[in-house]
A and B are shown apart, each in its own frame.
Chain A
């Protein structure tokens, strides 16, 4: 079995080790990295742009290039999140929390470096996992129905306030704001429009990539640009110390790399959920496990390493249902499915038998592509970090320009720009008053997923709420929710009350 695997992999490498394929793979991952860096422009735009070029090539070269764009774009996503608090995609929203703080402390270099290395670890891990586990895992996903999705998302939703460092109350308020804005748009199950005020543009609701750019990039730019001239100079984030990670950075990053890889891959396998949940869950996990909990939100390197790793591991995960079942779990994999079909290939249960050569070539190319990305991205750390030497005014004007371009590029609709600035200004005032905005974005992402899956679960189980308890996986997640989310605060409360009680008693005694 293992011998077969190596023989297959060797064949795969044999097919791609020629200068042409390697050059195209390099082109793919390079374009991927840069599209990842640009906010709003995701892999889907870049792949769609390269499709005409790819069709002129033979399937192996074309697919290797396009899949290179896909995983390459995951590398760059956190760059602007770290440097200028502008998440390039939803998955890097949580990276703004600690990555940007690190940059403010002059540690942009280590933050970018740990993101690049974490991405590499994740890319390699998920390629191995894809190779070994694809058929098995794809089948295991059959046990994950709407009820399980619903429980998993509920777990995530209940942990949203973990993204805050300040007032929990303010965190809850922005969470609720996110939940309410998530209600805007046409309800998928019934086709009824909610809170759209008859506007066609609101029928699909507020795009969450748009929302993330709006509440992070615009307020940050406004805050920076509205600072007084003198203080602006002080706020320039000079790079201090080494660009490279210290020994302690390494020690603190290794755990998150490992956990992020596994978590990201597993969540990535589930169709329809996407890497945003993976990076968010990884952040919460690292915060809970860390010995430096108090540093989270103030520049903890684990808060960059974990989520960025999880985000990248999600790509390998997302390819599992695509290769093994022919099921696209996201818009990007749906586009890849189409490209396979245009080449006359049908991903799906038989692909491992009918076209193993191509599949193994792609897997082999992912090993090489990830290594290329590491060597491409590490030198870029210095280049990207030096962006911060640009004076505040032109830098943040640039941020606004890229935010506008990125948002317009989402669907070429000017209405989106109006939403961008309205949300941006709301975000500015919320930020001024110390309201955390990451919970807002995560609530916006999770609410529709929760609602849809809850209603699917209900329809499927004939309206019987017990379905959540009767299904073993769903029940396990619910128990986890009780243990992790409900139990600790209750315990704390009871303990406090006991203490108060004891104190009173003691106080009474003294008095008496």
Chain B
């Protein structure tokens, strides 16, 4: 009786809602392996089946799935999750989506992949889940970067890069120090001198975890890094706004964030923290080492897997990522975002991490952020 009185329309509505939610769940968490009938997913699934066909043609690609011991990675074509440990639209998210996009566009994998955003505590929440809940799994990889090292030393994360399987470094994004168009500071030295004379009057904008490069620069310049009047923002957009409305006198962040403003002339780049000068709009911008400050500091981004990730999975991703970075799709994305492709894997990557980790600990200690 109750069911009869139930409006058909309402029932229809709930069915639609449920379907929609299922669709959302499909894209977001796991099951793309279900029948390729649901609409927006079709494109992706077709692409994957094309990938299948090509892989059987070209045996070089199918060999890629096997490691030295003949174990094959993901023979059941399970969907693989690429975790972005932060909100959609953030730097990690862009990296994860660019990688996902490259894998699909270049037919590098013969299984479905999807990006999932696990935001929280600059990646520490996602890292904790990776370590405690996915140990030994080969079904997910995650984007990671500098904060994994910083968080641990600052006591913001229980886990360290050594608690997971570090797979490869993809790129380095260098930092740039900028001032607004009408600022009196024409060179990095002028800016640093002004900070030295009266740190309070030169507020500097930075994202919470991006202070270190300027602190190191200022330290080598001879100033006291803990005296800089930093104002924290949640990202490049807010910082740009702060520069334009006069809340901060200068700012630093990854080069991609300020690119369009520098191009338009509303912001002026004083220096970059790379080893050599960068291209395009940054070609006239000196490196800090050019002006005698011996600092090279970039935010590397890489890919990690859960602890005790099976060897064939690690090998597969090392090779696939290496191949992905050479494709036109990735080169194109990298150029647009000013990402410097600096691939590294295995021993070399681990040594790099160890060295960077020491540098960061030393940097944090020097700047009084840890004891």
Which B residues are in CB contact (< 8 Å) with A142? 244-246
Question: Chain A residue with minimal CB distance to B127?
Answer: A200
Find residues 291-335 in chain A having any chain B CB closer than 8 Å to their own CB.
Answer: 321, 325-329, 331-335
Which B residues are in CB contact (< 8 Å) with A411? 117-120, 125
Find residues 99-155 in chain B having any chain A CB closer than 8 Å to their own CB.
Answer: 100-101, 104-105, 115-122, 124-125, 128-129, 154
A257-297 interface bits toward B, Cβ cutoff 8 Å, 1 = contact, 0 = none: 00000000000000110000000000000000000000000
A412 touching B118 in the complex, CB below 8 Å, given contacts A34-B16, A142-B244, A186-B156 = yes
Which B residues are in CB contact (< 8 Å) with A335? 88-89, 93
Which B residues are in CB contact (< 8 Å) with A462? 200-201
Q: Are B13 and A387 in contact (CB under 8 A)?
A: yes
CB distance from A235 to the nearest CB of B (A): 15
Which A residues are in CB contact (< 8 Å) with B292? none
Q: Are B89 and A413 in contact (CB under 8 A)?
A: no
**Cα of A510 to Cα of B181 in the assembled complex, Å:** 76
Which B residues are in CB contact (< 8 Å) with A398? 14
Which B residues are in CB contact (< 8 Å) with A31? 40
Which A residues are in CB contact (< 8 Å) with B337? 341
User: Which listed residue (B17, B100, B116, B230) contacts A52, Cβ 8 A?
Assistant: B100
Q: Is B63 an interface residue (CB 8 A)?
A: no
Q: Are A327 and B241 in contact (CB under 8 A)?
A: yes
Q: Is A170 an interface residue (CB 8 A)?
A: no
Which A residues are in CB contact (< 8 Å) with B200? 462-463
Question: Chain A residue with minimal CB distance to B198?
Answer: A462
Report whether over half of chain A's contact residues are helix, strand or loop; otherwise say mixed: helix
Q: Are B234 and A389 in contact (CB under 8 A)?
A: no
A348 touching B124 in the complex, CB below 8 Å, given contacts A45-B24, A141-B241 = no
Q: Are B237 and A328 in contact (CB under 8 A)?
A: yes
B: number of interface residues (CB 8 Å) = 80
Which A residues are in CB contact (< 8 Å) with B229? 459
Q: Which interface residue of B10, B14, B116, B337 has the most chain A CB atoms within 10 A?
A: B10
Q: Are A145 and B40 in contact (CB under 8 A)?
A: no
**Cα of A405 to Cα of B29 in the assembled complex, Å:** 12
Q: Is B358 an interface residue (CB 8 A)?
A: no
Q: Is A211 an interface residue (CB 8 A)?
A: no
Q: Is A180 an interface residue (CB 8 A)?
A: no
CB distance from A68 to the nearest CB of B (A): 13
Which A residues are in CB contact (< 8 Å) with B129? 413
Which B residues are in CB contact (< 8 Å) with A350? 260, 263-264
**Cα of A67 to Cα of B69 in the assembled complex, Å:** 49
CB distance from B263 to the nearest CB of A (A): 7
Q: Residues on A close to B: CB < 8 A? A: 31, 34-35, 37-38, 41, 44-53, 55-56, 141-146, 186, 188-189, 191, 193, 200-201, 203-204, 271-272, 321, 325-329, 331-338, 341-342, 344, 346-350, 382-384, 386-387, 389-391, 398, 402, 405, 409, 411-413, 415, 452, 455-457, 459-460, 462-463
CB distance from A189 to the nearest CB of B (A): 5
Which B residues are in CB contact (< 8 Å) with A347? 260
Q: Are A49 and B27 in contact (CB under 8 A)?
A: yes
Between A and B, how many residue pairs show CB distances below 8 Å? 221
Which B residues are in CB contact (< 8 Å) with A383? 9-10, 12-13
Q: Residues on B close to A: CB < 8 A? A: 2, 5-7, 9-10, 12-14, 16-17, 20-21, 24-25, 27-29, 40, 43-44, 87-90, 93-94, 97-98, 100-101, 104-105, 115-122, 124-125, 128-129, 154, 156-158, 200-201, 203, 208, 229-232, 234-235, 237-238, 240-242, 244-248, 259-261, 263-264, 266, 332-333, 336-337, 369
User: Which listed residue (A52, A402, A459) contacts B43, Cβ 8 A?
Assistant: A52
Q: Are A44 and B201 in contact (CB under 8 A)?
A: no
Q: Are A50 and B247 in contact (CB under 8 A)?
A: no
Q: Are A203 and B124 in contact (CB under 8 A)?
A: yes
**Cα of A114 to Cα of B250 in the assembled complex, Å:** 47
**Cα of A350 to Cα of B262 in the assembled complex, Å:** 11
Q: Are A38 and B17 in contact (CB under 8 A)?
A: yes
Can you list 21 residue pairs at the A/B interface with Cβ under 8 Å? A38-B24, A52-B44, A142-B245, A186-B121, A189-B232, A203-B125, A272-B238, A328-B235, A342-B336, A346-B259, A346-B263, A347-B260, A349-B260, A349-B266, A386-B7, A389-B5, A402-B21, A409-B28, A411-B117, A456-B242, A459-B231
Q: Are B124 and A460 in contact (CB under 8 A)?
A: no
**Cα of A327 to Cα of B236 in the assembled complex, Å:** 8
A48 touching B336 in the complex, CB below 8 Å, given contacts A200-B125, A389-B7 = no
Which A residues are in CB contact (< 8 Å) with B336? 341-342, 344
**Cα of A203 to Cα of B85 in the assembled complex, Å:** 14
Q: Are A390 and B333 in contact (CB under 8 A)?
A: no
Q: Which interface residue of B9, B98, B229 has the most chain A CB atoms within 10 A?
A: B9
Which A residues are in CB contact (< 8 Å) with B29? 412
CB distance from B38 to the nearest CB of A (A): 12
User: Which listed residue (A48, A200, A337) contacts B158, Cβ 8 A?
Assistant: A200
Q: Are B89 and A460 in contact (CB under 8 A)?
A: no
CB distance from B161 to the nearest CB of A (A): 16
Question: Chain B residue with minimal CB distance to A416?
Answer: B120
CB distance from A457 to the nearest CB of B (A): 7
Q: Are B263 and A460 in contact (CB under 8 A)?
A: no
